[in-house]
Amino acid sequence: MKGLTYVILAQTCFALIGVFTKYIGPSMNSLTLSFFRVFIASIFLLLVAVVFRKTKELTITKKDIVPFFIVGSLFALDFVFFIAAFHYTSLSEVGLLTSIVPVLVYFMAAKFLDEKISKNGIVALGAVLAGLYAINFAGTGGFSNAHILGNIFALVGSVFAAGYITYMRFEERNHSSLDAIFWPMVFATILLLPVILIFNYTAVAQTAYIWVLLLGVVSTGIGYLIVSLALKNMEAHTYSLAATIAFPLISIMFGAFFFSEALTINIIIGGGFMLLSALIVHYENRKIGINKGLLRKVNQKLHNL
């Protein structure tokens, strides 16, 4: 029960990304906004470590630099496209489209971790394609849909999100430790630092910075801290399943409450297919139990020592 509560709180924080982004508006582009998001989150996480005397958890070794840099790079790319999506489309569509992440992880694991693709995996892929068609093309005249660009950004962001999840599985890491959250944020900040020299953000209304601060603290720093608490109270696959269901539902509720977003029949049908694909993949992963592909990769690394 405690783990489920953490899941709902964490996904609420993440769903607020869309709310804060829309309140900030297009005056701050997604690159600049992503920089401030990870920069503020890094400072917040450092303060948390100091206040709760957990600075020892932030120790980084030479062998950690490359993995954290790679995860930080994927973080940055995911954040940029995810935030950009909200500038063009609705919270509900972004929330539903991110349900594709578990399916992408499944196929990435097959490619990079030598895991096998089952018949259920093919069915999940078919459900994804049906969901994408329903959300983006059915009854909309194809690419004439005004939201198609935002949906593409959401899908690209999901690819990078699946990339860092797959990579962290390969490195046998998760978000349950403070260093696995803090250092990727730091590296993402460094990578995005040049954007504040390129783009002008001084013309942004001062009231917008309140939402920027909330984006960094609530939707990123606190959100990932709650994820770490959830992973200490439940299995990773259980968290993933609960989060896959919770995030779209909360996003839909926020979209309706804050911006009066309406759910069309195409979005409902498409979202149903997307969630179905995620449930199929979760069932398949649970049935397999042990990540055989990951074990093979680990054995190869040990053999090379």
- Using alpha carbons, select from 118, 149, 145, 123 the residue that is nearest to residue 134: 145
- Using alpha carbons, select from 22, 72, 76, 15 the residue that is nearest to residue 219: 15
- What pTM, to 2 d.p., does this model score? 0.84
Give the pLDDT of residue 146.
Answer: 59
Q: Looking at this protein, which amino acid is placed at residue 125? A: L
Give the pLDDT of residue 173.
Answer: 59
Q: Looking at this protein, which amino acid is placed at residue 38? A: V
DSSP string, 100-145: GHHHHHHHHHHHHS-PPP-HHHHHHHHHHHHHHHHHHTTTTTGGG-
Give the pLDDT of residue 120.
Answer: 82
Give the pLDDT of residue 175.
Answer: 53
Per-residue pLDDT of the chain (305 residues; tens, 9 = 90+): 688 899 999 999 999 999 999 999 888 889 999 999 999 999 999 999 999 988 888 888 888 899 999 999 999 999 999 999 999 999 998 998 888 888 888 888 887 777 677 888 888 888 888 888 887 765 544 444 557 888 899 999 999 999 988 888 776 555 557 888 999 999 999 999 998 777 766 667 778 889 999 999 999 999 999 998 888 887 777 788 788 889 999 999 999 999 998 888 888 888 889 888 888 887 776 655 444 444 344 344 333 43
Give the pLDDT of residue 293.
Answer: 43
Give the pLDDT of residue 156.
Answer: 96
- 115, 119, 121, 123: CA torsion to nearest 10: 170
Give the pLDDT of residue 199.
Answer: 72
Give the pLDDT of residue 200.
Answer: 65
CA angle 297, 302, 305 (to 5 degrees): 130
- How far is Cα 201 from Cα 240, in angstroms, rounded to an integer? 36
In eight-state DSSP terms, residue 202 is: T
CA angle 194, 83, 279 (to 5 degrees): 130
